[in-house]
Amino acid sequence: MTGKLRIAIVGYGKIAQDQHVPSIAANPRFALAATVSRSTSGVPDIPNFSSHTDMLAAVKDLDAVAICTPPSVRYGIARDCIAAGLHALLEKPPGVSLSEVEELARLAGEKPVTLFTTWHAQHNPPVPAAAALLKGQRVAAMRIEWRENVRKWHPGQAWVWEPGGFGVFDPGINALSIATRIFPGALFVREAELFFPANKQAPIAANLRFESPASEGKLEAVFDWRETGGETWTIALRTEQGDDILLADGGARLVRNGQEEAAPGPGEYPSLYEEFASLIDARTSHVDLSPLRLAADAFLVGRRTLVEAFED
Amino acid sequence: MTGKLRIAIVGYGKIAQDQHVPSIAANPRFALAATVSRSTSGVPDIPNFSSHTDMLAAVKDLDAVAICTPPSVRYGIARDCIAAGLHALLEKPPGVSLSEVEELARLAGEKPVTLFTTWHAQHNPPVPAAAALLKGQRVAAMRIEWRENVRKWHPGQAWVWEPGGFGVFDPGINALSIATRIFPGALFVREAELFFPANKQAPIAANLRFESPASEGKLEAVFDWRETGGETWTIALRTEQGDDILLADGGARLVRNGQEEAAPGPGEYPSLYEEFASLIDARTSHVDLSPLRLAADAFLVGRRTLVEAFED
C-alpha cells in the first residue's frame, strides 16, 4: 500500500454530503481530491468543478471516483472516468438500464480498472448476519414492506418521477438488494402491480409477488411512497423450520424469533469504502445486477394502474 | 448418435403448426412423440395431452421438449420438463422476466440438460451474413422499422395485451434479436417512448434510441402495430466507411449498397432444430438474454404515453 487513493465525488447531493464525505474522511486509504457539483461549491478547501469533463481535464493525479448523481446520467460519467483510468464506485442503482451497466463492466475489465456497483443497504451489518442464518434453509414465507413519505425523502426532486427515475423503486431497490443478498436461492418476479400517478412517469407504489426454487410459500413485497404515518422498512421471513427472521429499519436491526440480535460492524458507508479499497487492491470489480434485474422484471411484467395525480 | 431424439411440443398454436411440426418432420435427428394442447387434438396419430404434467406422467421415453406456449407460462412448464430430465427448446421470448430465464439456465446446468433459448429471426441466413459484413466496423447510423397490423397477426389474442404479453415488443423483440446478433458492439437502450392503448396493459407502439460504443451516430427503432398499409420489417445500417447494409423482410433478405446478396441456408426453423441437435450432442446450452434485456430496459426507462383504446 503506497499513499492514499485520491478520490473525487461526482454529484454532491444529500447522499454525498451525508454519507460519502464522512466515510472517505474516516477511511485512511482515501483522500478526497475534488468534487463535481453544479449547484454547490462542494467541500471547503477542496477543488470543485461544474462538470466531470472539466474535473478530468484539470485534476491529473486522481485514482478513483464516486459517482453519486441521479442514475440517468451515471453511464456517460462512468464511461469517461473509466476511460481516464479511474476506479469507479457507483451509487445505487448503478444505471437506468441493465445493458448500460454490463457495458461499463466490460469497459472496466478492458482498461482494467475496478468497477464497484454499490448497494449500500447490503452493508448494514445485520444483512450478512441474516444471510448466514438463512443459508441452506427453505423459506415458508417472505414479506417486504417498504413504506415512506416521498415528500420527506425527495422534496421537490423531479428526476425521481421521470422515465428512468425509478419512482418508488428508488427506495424499493434497497429492499430488493437486501432480499437478493439474504434469500437462500434465486428470487424472481412473478407478478407486479405498479401504481402510477396520473401525471407522472414513475410508480408511487408497487406490489410484487416473487417465486423461488427455495420456497413454495408466499413471497411478496409492498412498496409505498404515500405513507404519512409511521415509516416501515422491514423484511420478514419465516423458514420452513419455523424460525422468524426480521430485518427492520432498512436492514439496520436483526430480530430472530422475537429476540434482537447484535450484529456489530463498521456501518453501511464505511463498510462500502472498505470494500472499494479491497477491490482496488485485488485489481478486481464487483458488479451485482440482481436488484436492478428484479426492478426491470417488475416493469416488464407489471400491471399498470393509474392513481391520483401527485403534486409536490 | 443412437436413435432419434423423441420430442414433444407443448403449446400447439400457430407457430407450432406452421413451423415446429414441419421442421421436426424434416430433421432426421428428431421424432415428434407427443403434443400438449388444450384447444386442439394435436397432430393425427401423435398422442396429445391437455397438460404438460399429464404428458410427463404418461410418456416415459421422451428426450426433449419444444415449448411454444405464450411466454407467461413457459417458466413453470420448462422447470418441470428440465426436472424430468428433458432437453428444452424455448420459443421466443424465453420468459417474461430475465430472472426466471436465468433460473432455468441454472436448473438446466445442474441437471444437466440442454436449454436453448431460441430467437428464430436470428436463423434467417442473411443475418449471420450481415453480422460478418459488419464485424469490426463502426456504425454511422442504424434505423429499425418494424410495422405490422396486429389484427392480422394476433387476431383476438388477449394474452399479447396482458402484463407480460409484451405488446408490440412481441414482434419487436425479433428485430432486437437480429440487431444484437449483427451489431459490431454492445447495444443498449438510452431512451424509449412506449405508447399504451388506454384500455391495454402492453404497448401498441414504441420508439427506442440506442447507444453503443461502436457508434457515435443515431441508432433508433420504431415498432408499430397500427400499420394497415404495407408491412415493414427492416434494419438499415450505414457503416462509417459508407457501406449501406439493409436487412429486409424480417431478416430474410440482405441488400448491400443497393445490391441484393444471396445468403443460402436451411431457413429459420430448420436451422434452429439443427442447432438444437448440435447443442444436445455437445451436452451444452445456449442461453441468449440480450434481446429480452433490451426489451426490459425499454420498459424500465420508457416514457409511457396513453393513446386511443384498442378494440379487437
d(CA A105, CA A116): 9
Nearest to B301 among A164, A187, A297 (CB): A164
Assess contact for A61 and A86: CB atoms under 8 A.
Answer: no
Torsion angle of C-alpha atoms B301, B303, B307, B311, degrees rounded to 10: 10
Quick one: residue B257, left, alpha or beta (phi over 0 = left, psi -120 to 50 = alpha)?
left
Reported confidence tier of residue A155, pLDDT bands at 50, 70, 90: confident
How does pLDDT run across A242-264, given as a tens digit for each residue? 999 999 999 999 999 999 999 88
Which residues of A are less than 8 Å from B103 in CB distance?
186, 188, 213
DSSP secondary structure, B158-179, as one string: GGGGSTTS-TTHHHHHHHHHHH
- A56-65, A150-159, B194-203: least confident range: A150-159
For domain B5-117, give the fold. Answer: Rossmann fold (3.40.50)
Check pLDDT > 60 for residue B255. yes
Which of A290, A136, A217 shows the shortest CA–CA distance to B102? Answer: A290
How does pLDDT run across B29-82, given as a tens digit for each residue? 999 999 999 999 999 999 999 999 999 999 989 999 999 998 889 999 999 999
Give pLDDT, residue B2.
60
Give pLDDT, residue A2.
60
User: Residue B163 and residue A296: Cβ atoms within 8 Å?
Assistant: no
Give pLDDT, residue B58.
97
Unique residue bearing C-alpha cell 387434438: B41
Q: How far is A192 from chain B (nearest CA, A)?
A: 9
CA A36 to chain centre: 21
Which residues of A are less than 8 Å from B303 in CB distance?
163, 201
Give pLDDT, residue A288.
96
Sequence ranges of chain A with CATH classification 3.30.360.10: 121-264+296-307
Which residues of B are less than 8 Å from A100 in CB distance?
188, 190, 211, 297
A23's grid cell: 466515510
Unique residue bearing C-alpha cell 403534486: A311
Reported confidence tier of residue A5, pLDDT bands at 50, 70, 90: very high
Assess contact for B107 and B132: CB atoms under 8 A.
Answer: no
Say whether A111 is catalytic.
no
User: Residue B96 and residue A301: Cβ atoms within 8 Å?
Assistant: yes
Give pLDDT, residue A143.
98
Reported confidence tier of residue A156, pLDDT bands at 50, 70, 90: confident
**Any bridge partners for residue B139, and if so which?**
B215, B239
How does pLDDT run across B143-195, given as a tens digit for each residue? 999 999 999 988 888 989 999 889 999 999 999 999 999 999 999 999 999 99
* Residues of chain B with a CB closer than 8 angstroms to some CB in chain A: 72, 96-100, 102-103, 106-107, 163-164, 186-192, 196, 201, 211, 213, 290, 293-297, 299-304
d(CA B231, CA B224): 10
Name the burial class of residue B44, with classes exposed (0-12), middle (13-18) and buried (19+) by CB atoms within 10 angstroms of its CB: exposed
User: Residue A103 and residue B293: Cβ atoms within 8 Å?
Assistant: no
Nearest to B99 among A103, A294, A299 (CB): A294
Q: How far is B200 from chain A (nearest CA, A)?
A: 9
Question: For chain A, what percent of residues have pLDDT higher than 70?
Answer: 99
Which residues of B are less than 8 Å from A99 in CB distance?
186-189, 290, 293-294, 297
For domain A121-264+296-307, give the fold. Answer: Dihydrodipicolinate Reductase; domain 2 (3.30.360)
Mean pLDDT of chain B: 95
In this prediction, residues A107-117 reach a mean pLDDT of: 97
User: Residue B188 and residue A103: Cβ atoms within 8 Å?
Assistant: yes
Reported confidence tier of residue B312, pLDDT bands at 50, 70, 90: confident
Which of A249, A246, A270, A271 shows the shortest CA–CA distance to A259? Answer: A246
Which of A113, A111, A107, A75 shows the shortest CA–CA distance to A91? Answer: A75
d(CA B247, CA B176): 13
Q: How many CB pairs under 8 A join A and B?
A: 107
d(CA B106, CA A171): 29
First to last CA, chain B: 49
pTM here? 0.90
Which residues of B are less than 8 Å from A201 in CB distance?
303-304
Residue in B closest to A198 by C-alpha: B306
Residue A112 preceded by cis peptide, ω within 30:
yes
Residues 6 or more apart from B160 whose CB is under 8 A from it?
B150, B154, B166, B167, B170, B202
Instruction: Indicate which residue of A14, A92, A111, A152 is catalytic.
Output: A92
DSSP secondary structure, B200-211, as one string: -SS-SEEEEEEE
Strand order in the sheet with A5-10: A48-49, A30-36, A5-10, A64-67, A87-90, A115-117
Instruction: Indicate which residue of B4, B14, B60, B92 is catalytic.
Output: B92
Give pLDDT, residue B86.
98
A58's grid cell: 484539470
Give pLDDT, residue B184.
97
Which residues of B are less than 8 Å from A296 in CB distance?
98, 293, 296-297, 299-300
ipTM of predicted complex: 0.86
* Residues of chain A with a CB closer than 8 angstroms to some CB in chain B: 72, 96-100, 102-103, 106-107, 163-164, 186-192, 196, 201, 211, 213, 290, 293-297, 299-304
Residue type, A110: E
What ranges in chain B are assigned the alpha helix state H?
Answer: 14-15, 21-26, 52-58, 74-83, 98-110, 126-134, 150-153, 169-182, 268-281, 290-301
Give the CA distances from residue B130 to residues A56, B134, B238, in Å, rounded to whole numbers and listed in that order: 39, 6, 12
